[in-house]
Structure 1
């Protein structure tokens, strides 16, 4: 009986993961933004404070994405919200990398 119970739990767990909707566009943008921030840090274009702010913004986007996926379906409204937050993050990364402040 225990083996059957464990097998049932595994099936439910795998089914739940499979049902969780993916967001490939959001994930691709997220990866791109991480690379841009890392390049800004490496080149000295971003100060420590700017880097912290950008990291906080990325964590917020990740939290929003997690909440959107929580019910297994990312609605059009949730996608728009994620897209809006990522566009804002893109603009912030650009602005902070191209302002006159640097690590030196």
Structure 2
């Protein structure tokens, strides 16, 4: 009986530990932000490829996106992403999205842009 109860307690403790680890992993993940960063990176790459962005614009936008990625990594570093950290990263991504749109649709064109 003692063996059964002690093994049951050990299994219960192990399952609580596993659940706590899962909860911590879930709170430190930002899948929406990760996907959004990937989409914005693709927008920058397509703008550079089709000539909508100059080399300097591309470099500047890449640097801004790297700052967002760093802010996201800093938010995840302690294992918990707070509501404020999520909001901060989302606002940075909002600003970068507007900057990407603005730079892709301005009058400047890169080297591979079609001549008009």
The answer for the alignment partner of 2:12 in structure 1 is none
Partner of 1:35: 42
The answer to whether residue 109 in structure 2 is matched with residue 90 in structure 1 is no
**C-alpha deviations, 1:25-82, integer Å up to 9, x for none?**
1011101101111110111000000001001001100110111011100000000000
RMSD: 1.8
Within the alignment, does 1:101 sit opposite 2:108 as a pair? yes
TM-score (norm: length of structure 1): 0.80
**Bigger Cα Rg:** 2
Q: Which has the higher contact order (CA 8 A, sep 6+)?
A: 1
In structure 1, the gaps of 5 or more residues are 1-14
Q: Please, what TM-score do these two structures have when normalized by structure 2?
A: 0.72
Counterpart position of 1:56: 63
Aligned partners of 2:39, 2:95: CA distance in 1, in Å?
Answer: 14
Q: For the residues of structure 2 that align with 1:19 and 1:55, how far apart are their CA atoms? A: 31
Unaligned segments of structure 2, at least 5 residues: 1-19, 112-116
The count of aligned residue pairs is 90
